Structure 1
């Protein structure tokens, strides 16, 4: 996930379901040509993950 230039944000570990949802980020397809629908993390996702994904 790229949200900032590498020199300003390195080493961030985030959960790929929670982080984009919490921060309302657009998620692109692998080829970058389209957008994936916004999805809330499922209820069965790890309950110990902070909602922010961090």
Structure 2
């Protein structure tokens, strides 16, 4: 994840402790496999510890 848009604010370079909030817009770059992992993380279907 490159950045998170939260309302009128931006969070650049979020780390593993950043918590997503409903309504956040994620700006990311990567391949399709990474996109699937990101979807699962964003939906709380898996955690970073499971990677």
If the TM-score is normalised by the length of the shorter chain, which range does it land in?
A: under 0.3
- Between structure 1 and structure 2, the one with the greater Rg is 1
TM-score between both structures, scaled by the size of structure 1: 0.26
Q: Which has the larger share of helix? A: 2
**TM-score, length-normalised on structure 2?**
0.26
More strand by proportion, 1 or 2?
A: 2
